[in-house]
């Protein structure tokens, strides 16, 4: 693994099921583990039951024979290995996990399995959960400015805390994380959602947000930013759309989304201040019964 942080973060192995953003988060975490961050190392060692054994090797996206590409592999000086599955939103593809478990059990020392992600109630055995909130706690109080920046990144870009200015909403993962946090708060940790945006045209989007499914339903709802003008301009509205459910305070479908067939739209108006979780929660409250 490269000593250069930026070289590490730029690495992405084709064939991996990780998204580029997930890989970015994994590589950043690996940097701190490899540099010997005491609290982070202790968090993973305790979850895996390896005690105080020194960490010898950190591998990002190693290939595990025919089982595919893992997210992270930690090897300790005594030979123990931890296979780490990294997730940044619900509904990640876990189809490769059984095959990876089979490969890992062939190692000379008994393996450990850790799933790093958002809080959930259904982590499959033998995987042991660690949440991104625990990563934040492990980084808390670290005087290293890079560690402080990564802690803030986890809070805002993964966990969705804090407000999001319009320019960052359109250029980072922060809006998607903010919406995800509001969805989990309202519908529980099992809610399903996925980033959903149009292709940019001249640096502007027709729409930019998150498609989600209410419990027991299909992906029939969307929330995010919609361009106010056609041709596209710099002004956006914060809006919610539903394919089947009625909404409170309905508005006419925006021109920029004219090719959609979803009839139910509502909005908070033009975005002139940073977007907050309260605004997103206010839109979610407008969803009527199915």
Q: Per residue of the chain (290 residues), what is the pLDDT tens digit?
A: 445 665 666 665 555 676 888 988 999 999 999 999 999 999 999 999 988 889 999 999 999 988 889 999 999 999 999 999 999 998 888 899 999 999 999 998 999 999 999 999 899 999 999 999 999 999 999 999 999 999 999 999 999 999 999 999 999 999 999 999 999 999 999 899 999 999 999 889 999 999 999 988 999 999 999 999 989 999 999 999 999 999 999 999 999 998 898 999 999 999 999 999 999 999 999 998 86
Q: Tell me what pLDDT residue 233 has.
A: 92
Q: Tell me what pLDDT residue 173 has.
A: 93
Structural domain includes residue 67: yes
- pTM, entire model: 0.92
Q: Which of 70, 37, 29 is nearest to 55 (CA)?
A: 37
Same domain for 170 and 78?
no
Is residue 22 within 8 Å of residue 61, measured between CB atoms? no
Structural domain includes residue 290: no
Same domain for 166 and 149?
no
Is residue 45 within 8 Å of residue 71, measured between CB atoms? no
Same domain for 140 and 15?
yes
Structure tokens at 269: 């108006």
* Separation CA 57–CA 54 (nearest Å): 9
Q: Tell me what pLDDT residue 235 has.
A: 95
Same domain for 211 and 97?
no
Q: Tell me what pLDDT residue 207 has.
A: 96
Residue where a domain stops, chosen among 153, 182, 204 = 153
Q: Tell me what pLDDT residue 2 has.
A: 47
H helices, E strands: number in the chain: 9, 10
Location of structure tokens 């590409």: 69
Dihedral sign, CA of 129, 133, 136, 141?
A: negative
Range of the domain at 32: 5-153
The DSSP code sequence of 99-152 is HHHHHHTTSSS--EEEEEES--S-PPTT-EEEEHHHHHHHHTT---HHHHHHHH
């Amino acid at each position: 693994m490269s000593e250069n942080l930026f070289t590490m973060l730029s690495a992405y192995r084709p064939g991996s099921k990780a998204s580029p953003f997930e890989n970015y988060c994994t590589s950043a975490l690996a940097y701190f583990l490899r540099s010997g961050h005491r609290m982070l190392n202790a968090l993973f060692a305790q979850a895996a039951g390896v005690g105080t054994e020194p960490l010898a090797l950190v591998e990002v996206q190693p290939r595990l024979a025919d089982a595919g590409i893992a997210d992270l592999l930690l090897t300790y000086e005594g030979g123990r290995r931890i296979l780490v599955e990294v997730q940044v939103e619900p509904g990640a593809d876990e189809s490769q996990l059984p095959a990876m478990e089979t490969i890992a059990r062939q190692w000379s020392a008994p393996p450990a399995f850790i799933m790093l992600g958002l809080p959930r109630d259904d982590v499959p055995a033998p995987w042991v959960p660690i949440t991104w909130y625990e990563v934040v706690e492990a980084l808390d109080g670290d005087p290293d400015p890079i560690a402080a920046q990564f802690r803030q990144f986890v809070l805002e870009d993964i966990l969705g805390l804090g407000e999001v200015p319009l320019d960052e909403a359109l250029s980072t993962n922060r809006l998607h994380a903010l919406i995800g946090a509001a969805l989990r708060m309202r519908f529980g940790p099992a809610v399903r959602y996925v980033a959903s945006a149009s292709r940019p045209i001249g640096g502007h989007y027709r729409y930019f947000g998150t498609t989600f499914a209410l419990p027991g339903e299909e992906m029939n709802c969307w929330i995010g930013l919609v361009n106010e003008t056609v041709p596209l301009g710099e002004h956006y509205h914060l809006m919610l759309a539903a394919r089947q459910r009625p909404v409170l305070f309905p508005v006419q479908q925006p021109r920029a989304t004219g090719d959609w067939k979803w009839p139910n739209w509502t909005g908070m108006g033009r975005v002139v201040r940073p977007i907050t979780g309260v605004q997103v929660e206010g839109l979610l409250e407008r969803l009527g019964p199915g």
